[in-house]
Chains A and B, each alone.
Chain A
Amino acid sequence: MNKTVNQKAWFFVIPVFVLVAFNAIIPLMTVVNYAFQETFGNNVFMWEGTRWFKQIMLSERFHASLGRQFLFTFIILFIQIPLGIAIALTMPKEGLGVPVCLVLMSMPLLIPWNVVGAMWNIFALPDIGFLGHSLNALGFDYNFTQQIGDAWFTTILMDVWHWTSLVVLLSYAGLRSIQPAYYQAAEIDGASRWAVFTKIELPKMKKVLTIAILLRFMDSFMIYTEPFVLTGGGPGNATAFLSIDLVKMALGQFDLGPAAAMSLIYFFIVLLVCWVFYTLMMRNEEKS
């Protein structure tokens, strides 16, 4: 095939280029700008090189919030993925139950982050909240505003409530796309229910589960609004995850240089984990 040479066609790309520049490249480059310089306002900048990066990488505060962040993300993935698959497996496959379940499952996903945080804050208040009051009435000493364990418990429960549905919906879609012949063949081969799950359902769900894990990893790793509204990062710094810590540094203390460096490090961690995970999951797909 002979391609027509028409350099004027580049003009058609300009709108997209401008759009991408405005919503991605320019803001990102601003952050990069701040990360290597010190400013005292008035548009006066001094070159600092890698000083902010060194400072962040060596800061105990960053290590602590990064640690909390990984712990939180691992816990919610560990709960949400198996729970989501389990719920998807028990959902009805035909009849009126299907739309009912799908709508019920989608509900939490449709609620704005802020509202979820506020809802759970009120729900879990130890004196007047339904959850908090009930737990205390049952004899548990529960107070998420003061006890670290309770704060974590509530934050995790909130996230599980808010996001397990996403895993359920993706798994359900994956399960429904399995041809009935697979189940029939397994039945004829005499496979147990467990073998059907591990040899047919899980491998067939691999792609949607990869997407589910990636989405849940990214979202939970960047979580901000819900814990901010629920606990405000407290008690102390107990639930100050990376985003909350970053906002404190950038807007609370106005340390723009370190905050910019932290943003970039944060961004590269997300990128790196996603890339490693995706590459590992898909390494066998290429061959087939």
Chain B
Amino acid sequence: MAKVTLKDLSHSYLKTQSSDADWAIRGVNIDWNDGGAYALLGPSGCGKTTLLNIISGLITPTKGDILFDDKVVSGLNPVERNIAQIFQFPVIYDTMTVYDNLAFPLRNRKIPEEEIKAKVHEIAEMLELSSTLNNRASGLTADGKQKISLGRGLVRSDVNAIMFDEPLTVIDPHLKWILRSKLKELHQKINRTMIYVTHDQTEALTFADQVVVMHEGQIVQTGTPVDLFEKPKHTFVGYFIGSPGMNVLPCQINGNDVIVNGKKIETHQQVKKNNFSKTEVGVRPEFISFSNDGIPVKVLSVSNTGRHKIVDTESESGKIKMIAKSNEDIPSGSAFLKFKKEYTYTYGDSWIIE
């Protein structure tokens, strides 16, 4: 068990780097506490798997340091770092039985067979694999195999951290939910640092206490699921998290006034400086309502999800989605929208203006 710290970490797969785009990861700083459940969330190609492989020691970073419990481990290999990693698709040793698969990491570390037996049975019990211990691992279903991968990480009682690289990709939707709650339950039981990489916001938000959102090799925000929802620090977080995502509209800033479509609107922050090349206003569909006065829009379409209605509208400066109660009457044709002040933020060059 360990605290994981990343210091000014950058990595590039190229030998020479000329622009920001050549870096897979740029200047990442992270502090993860011992025993926490963390998620790395981001779209495909944002660098999250690279970051995970750097932590586990499969990739050596171009710049920066990795610390476990304040000890630099950048030069150590995965065995020396003592971490466990579960991959996107289940990695099992086909020719071995489930028991041998689970015992494999322990046997490689020359642990006495008696101890191995006890440990394997304990973990198999926890993962509900006990009845299949003597079967060939290759005969199991995808979720059974993924449990074996997970089990191989759990049998070692001294691992510093357990890392998951989109572990539910190949699992059937109805089993995903079961396995995810199993993971959560395991985390509470064994209390080890777990780092979970995913592009699925539901997985990240349900699994983790702290979610790290990555975008183009950088960390754009770290926070609890509620933070990410209520106060996105970057427009990317705004529209990546939430369904539908945040509305982002261009705005002008005149002194202290924020102007959208020629209308002054109230925002959460007091805007002071204004030297950005692009300024925007972001507000989630959940925090928009119809009113008698506000941003003039044309209602385009309404889709009812059962729980609520998603209304597509068009304003002068772009489309705005809003969520209305399912029993609410939706005006047709033109209407006015009002943004909830405390959840409306201004962004300069995509970053929140504080």
Residue in chain A with minimal CB distance to B81: A188
Which A residues are CB-close (under 8 A) to B91?
179, 181-182, 185
- The answer on a CB contact under 8 Å between B152 and A288 is no
- The answer on a CB contact under 8 Å between B95 and A203 is yes
- The answer on a CB contact under 8 Å between B108 and A187 is no
The residue that A189 contacts in the complex, of B53, B95, B138, B152, with Cβ under 8 A, is: B152
- The answer on a CB contact under 8 Å between B87 and A185 is yes
Which B residues are CB-close (under 8 A) to A71?
none
Which A residues are CB-close (under 8 A) to B58?
184, 187-188
Is B94 engaged at the interface, CB distance under 8 Å to the other chain?
yes
| Min distance, Cβ B88 to any Cβ of chain A, angstroms | 7
List residues of B (61-100) whose CB comes within 8 Å of A's CBs. 77-79, 83-85, 87-89, 91, 93-96
With contact pairs A179-B89, A199-B95 given, residues A191 and B136 touching in the complex (Cβ less than 8 Å): no
Interface residues on A, range: 10 to 19
| Min distance, Cβ B79 to any Cβ of chain A, angstroms | 5
Residue in chain A with minimal CB distance to B100: A199
Q: Which of A181, A187, A190, A203 has the most chain B CB within a 10 Å cutoff?
A: A190
Is B149 engaged at the interface, CB distance under 8 Å to the other chain?
yes
- The answer on a CB contact under 8 Å between B89 and A188 is no
Is A56 engaged at the interface, CB distance under 8 Å to the other chain?
no
List residues of A (96-114) whose CB comes within 8 Å of B's CBs. none
| Min distance, Cβ A134 to any Cβ of chain B, angstroms | 45
Which B residues are CB-close (under 8 A) to A189?
104-105, 108, 152
- The answer on a CB contact under 8 Å between B96 and A199 is yes
List residues of B (122-170) whose CB comes within 8 Å of A's CBs. 136, 138-139, 149, 152-153
Which B residues are CB-close (under 8 A) to A190?
79, 105, 108-109
List residues of A (110-148) whose CB comes within 8 Å of B's CBs. none
The residue that B88 contacts in the complex, of A181, A188, A287, with Cβ under 8 A, is: A181
Looking at chain A's contact residues, the main secondary structure is helix
| Min distance, Cβ B278 to any Cβ of chain A, angstroms | 40
Is A284 engaged at the interface, CB distance under 8 Å to the other chain?
yes
A179→B53 CA distance, assembly (Å): 15
| Min distance, Cβ A194 to any Cβ of chain B, angstroms | 11
Q: Which of B53, B96, B108, B139 has the most chain A CB within a 10 Å cutoff?
A: B108
- The answer on a CB contact under 8 Å between B88 and A288 is no
- The answer on a CB contact under 8 Å between B104 and A188 is no
With contact pairs A181-B87, A181-B88 given, residues A188 and B139 touching in the complex (Cβ less than 8 Å): no
Which A residues are CB-close (under 8 A) to B138?
288
Residue in chain B with minimal CB distance to A181: B87
Residue in chain B with minimal CB distance to A204: B94
Which A residues are CB-close (under 8 A) to B94?
203-204, 288
Which A residues are CB-close (under 8 A) to B109?
190
Is A90 engaged at the interface, CB distance under 8 Å to the other chain?
no
A203→B138 CA distance, assembly (Å): 11
Is B56 engaged at the interface, CB distance under 8 Å to the other chain?
yes
- The answer on a CB contact under 8 Å between A191 and B104 is yes
A288→B138 CA distance, assembly (Å): 6
- The answer on a CB contact under 8 Å between B88 and A199 is no
- The answer on a CB contact under 8 Å between B78 and A188 is yes
Residue in chain A with minimal CB distance to B79: A190
Q: What 1/0 flags go to B206-230 for Cβ under 8 Å of A?
A: 0000000000000000000000000
- The answer on a CB contact under 8 Å between B93 and A203 is yes
A181→B139 CA distance, assembly (Å): 20
Is A42 engaged at the interface, CB distance under 8 Å to the other chain?
no
Which A residues are CB-close (under 8 A) to B79?
187-188, 190
- The answer on a CB contact under 8 Å between B83 and A188 is yes
Q: Which of A185, A284, A288 has the most chain B CB within a 10 Å cutoff?
A: A185
Is A192 engaged at the interface, CB distance under 8 Å to the other chain?
yes
A185→B84 CA distance, assembly (Å): 8
A118→B292 CA distance, assembly (Å): 97
- The answer on a CB contact under 8 Å between A287 and B139 is yes
- The answer on a CB contact under 8 Å between B89 and A181 is yes
| Min distance, Cβ A158 to any Cβ of chain B, angstroms | 36
Is A195 engaged at the interface, CB distance under 8 Å to the other chain?
yes
Which B residues are CB-close (under 8 A) to A222?
none
| Min distance, Cβ A65 to any Cβ of chain B, angstroms | 39
- The answer on a CB contact under 8 Å between B108 and A188 is no
A128→B72 CA distance, assembly (Å): 67
With contact pairs A181-B91, A203-B95 given, residues A188 and B84 touching in the complex (Cβ less than 8 Å): yes
- The answer on a CB contact under 8 Å between B93 and A199 is yes
| Min distance, Cβ B97 to any Cβ of chain A, angstroms | 12
With contact pairs A184-B58, A199-B95, A288-B138 given, residues A192 and B108 touching in the complex (Cβ less than 8 Å): yes
Residue in chain A with minimal CB distance to B149: A185
Which B residues are CB-close (under 8 A) to A179?
89, 91
List residues of A (179-225) whose CB comes within 8 Å of B's CBs. 179, 181-182, 184-185, 187-192, 195, 199-200, 203-204
The residue that B139 contacts in the complex, of A184, A191, A192, A288, with Cβ under 8 A, is: A288
Which B residues are CB-close (under 8 A) to A204?
94
| Min distance, Cβ A191 to any Cβ of chain B, angstroms | 6
In the complex, besides A188-B78, A188-B84, A190-B109, 18 extra interface pairs with C-beta distance below 8 angstroms are: A181-B88, A182-B91, A184-B58, A185-B149, A188-B58, A188-B79, A189-B104, A189-B105, A189-B108, A190-B79, A190-B105, A192-B108, A195-B108, A199-B93, A199-B104, A203-B94, A287-B136, A287-B139
The chain B residues found within 8 Å of chain A, CB to CB, are: 53, 56, 58, 77-79, 83-85, 87-89, 91, 93-96, 104-105, 108-109, 136, 138-139, 149, 152-153
**What 5 A-B pairs come out closest when comparing CB atoms?**
A190-B108, A181-B87, A185-B91, A189-B105, A288-B138
Subset of 12 A-B contacts with CB under 8 Å: A181-B87, A184-B56, A184-B58, A184-B85, A185-B85, A185-B87, A185-B152, A188-B58, A199-B95, A199-B104, A200-B93, A203-B95
